[in-house]
Amino acid sequence: MKKVTGLGGVFFKSDNPKAMNEWYAKNLGLPTSDYGTTFEWREVDDPSKKGSTTWSTFSKDSTYFHPSTQPFMINYRVENIVALVDELKKENVTIVDEIAEYDYGKFVHILDPEGNIIELWEPKDDVDSDSETA
């Protein structure tokens, strides 16, 4: 079973997310908004499929990374999140929450052996309408 298919995002806490976003925009050219930025790309094996990787700052007081005490979280793109969670449970991996579904995909959070929070994301298929045939 294929598990991680790519990097979905990098999230980190900051004393001042707005100032941090502005610094990255000014000095590194990231096209940031209040939430960070999203890098869009196409899959190498099937260029009709689009993907994205998010870079985002959070307030240092954010509880989104709990129960981890680390100031960062990595999001990994996965296939078949339901089967993967079942497999992780069999391996006694700590599953933090239930699978949540949104318009842009399914998410669940787990902890690695050192207590780092990991966000798993099964994105909805995003096929470029220009390349589809009628």
Between residues 60 and 125, the one the model is more confident about: 60
Residue 134 resides in a domain: no
DSSP SS3 for 6: strand
Residue 129 has pLDDT above 60, yes or no: no
% of the chain surpassing 90 pLDDT:
81
The domain spanning residue 112 has which CATH number?
Answer: 3.10.180.10
Between residues 56 and 128, the one the model is more confident about: 56
Lowest mean pLDDT among 7-11, 49-53, 97-101, 108-112: 49-53
- Per-residue CA distances from 132 to 43, 50, 103, 126, 129 (Å): 15, 13, 21, 11, 5
Residue 1 has pLDDT above 90, yes or no: no
Number of domains the chain contains: 1
- The pLDDT value recorded for residue 59 is 96
Residue 133 resides in a domain: no
Question: Domain range holding 84?
Answer: 4-128
- Residue 7, both tokens: 């990097």
Q: What is the pLDDT of residues 73-115, one digit of tens each?
A: 999 999 999 999 999 999 999 999 999 999 999 999 999 999 9
- The pLDDT value recorded for residue 126 is 52
Q: What is the pLDDT of residues 12-22, one digit of tens each?
A: 999 999 999 99
